[in-house]
Amino acid sequence: MPTARFGPCPHCTTQLSFLEGVNGSTLSPKCPRCHEVVSVQRATFLMADNSGPGTRRTAVAKVT
């Protein structure tokens, strides 16, 4: 069963949805914003998480 979790890109800190077990999942997904490879433990599909209310659950200190 596909699962989703949320977190920041380690490169550009964009909020991402990590979708595990969906079509297009890969072990070396690329961030849709900065196009850097994000290392994951399981096959994951990355989506930018900026498209709706209630998605920013992870508090991340923004580096300015």
Closest distance to Zn ion from the beta carbon of 52 (Å): 19
Nearer to Zn ion, 1 or 62 (CB): 62
Closest distance to Zn ion from the beta carbon of 14 (Å): 5
Give the type of residue at 39: S
31 binds Zn ion (CB under 5 A): yes
Binding residue (CB under 5 A) for Zn ion from 3, 22, 26, 34: 34
Q: End-to-end alpha-carbon separation of the chain, Å?
A: 38
| Distances from the Cα of 21 to the Cα of 6, 11, 12, 31, angstroms | 15, 23, 24, 17
Q: 15, 6 in Cβ contact below 8 A?
A: yes
Nearer to Zn ion, 1 or 35 (CB): 35
Binding-site residue total for Zn ion (CB under 5 A)? 6
